[in-house]
Amino acid sequence: MSRALAAAYAALAAFALLAVAACGGSGSGSGDEGSGETTLTVLAASSLTDVFEEARTVYEREHPGLRLRFSFAGSQELASQVRQGVPADVLVTADTETMDGVADDVSGEAVTIARNQLTIVAPPGNPAGVETLADLADPGLRLVLAAPEVPAGRYGQEILDRQGVDAAPDSQEPNVRSVLSKVELGEADAGLVYVTDAAVAGDAVHAVPIPDGLNATASYPAAVLAASGSPDEARAFVDWLGGERAGRLLRDAGFLAP
């Protein structure tokens, strides 16, 4: 199965889980009847998909009786779910602005668990010959970016604006993984994604680094949601995300230290 199809199936599965919860199914922080287990629902930015799947394995092994259920999407979509009352225990966004926007729905202080930066990606072989940010202004280039309300889209626009690059995207996507998929599938000549997304894609994309002095840095805050049914367990997980063990997993995946 292609990475794009796998991502689509994962997104559909996550939506189904949330829909069941919203309709009265197993809610956030719930104990699975008869099993003695507690399940935490974690809403997380899509760029964390792969590393959080690794974190699930480690955390559940270290905490018997505790299960993690992840729902990945663009940070702005996750914030909307929180405001709508979708049952969940923990929120992790790809920027502090989105987290600040749901401050009334958060319990306690948010913990910054990692940072990230952006890179240009092109299909293998870089057929359009994209080498610099200025090349993204080429009107003949099929450019795909995350939408302006998505953290990756906002960071990307900041980078382009600072360099005076007037780039007109052919598509604006709801999350950064959708940008990556379009480039992987050859549906775009170039896109802006996080460095960690390009690392996950490997040889499926050609990465063009953005110099540090021109780049933007994303921060990833994690917080317990006030509506959590298991606030103590949720706080323990957030604290773990900010700790040494999770930090090693994040750095191994290409994220920067907080």
- 136-179 pLDDT, tens digit per residue, is 999 999 999 999 999 999 999 999 999 999 999 999 999 999 99
Distance CA 128, CA 208 (A): 12
- In terms of domains, do 10 and 102 share one? yes
Token pair for 202: 């490997």
User: What pLDDT is stored for residue 36 in this prediction?
Assistant: 75
Tell how strand 171-173 and strand 217-225 pair up. Answer: unpaired
Residue 63 belongs to a domain: yes
230/174 same-domain check: no
The reply to whether 10 and 49 lie within a common domain is yes
**Same domain for 149 and 73:** no
d(CA 110, CA 224): 8
For residue 202, count CB atoms less than 10 angstroms from its CB and return exposed for 0-12, middle for 13-18, buried for 19 or more.
exposed
What is the rounded average pLDDT of the residues 202-223? 97
Give the count of domains, the chain. Answer: 2
Q: Are residues 225 and 103 in the same domain?
A: yes
In 123-216, beta strands by DSSP E: 143-146, 171-173, 190-194, 206-209
- Domain holding 101, by residue range, is 3-114+220-252
Q: Which of 190, 80, 185 is nearest to 145 (CA)?
A: 190
In a domain, 175, yes or no: yes
| pLDDT of 7 strictly over 60 | no
Q: Is the pLDDT of residue 16 over 50?
A: no
Percent of the chain surpassing pLDDT 90: 86
Do 48 and 104 share a domain, yes or no? yes
Matching residue, tokens 């509506």? 227
> Do 228 and 147 have their domain in common?
no
- Asked if residue 87 belongs to a domain, the reply is yes
The enclosing domain of 67 has a CATH number of 3.40.190.10
How do residues 67-122 score in pLDDT, each as one tens digit?
Answer: 999 999 999 999 999 999 999 999 999 999 999 999 999 999 999 999 999 999 99
**Are 118 and 194 spatial neighbours (Cβ–Cβ below 8 Å)?**
yes
pLDDT of residue 6: 43
Q: Do 104 and 13 share a domain, yes or no? A: yes
Residue type, position 50, single letter: D
- Identify whether 257 is part of a domain: no
**Phi and psi (nearest 5°) for 2?**
-70, 155
Whether 123 and 237 map to the same domain: the answer is: no
The model carries a pTM of 0.86
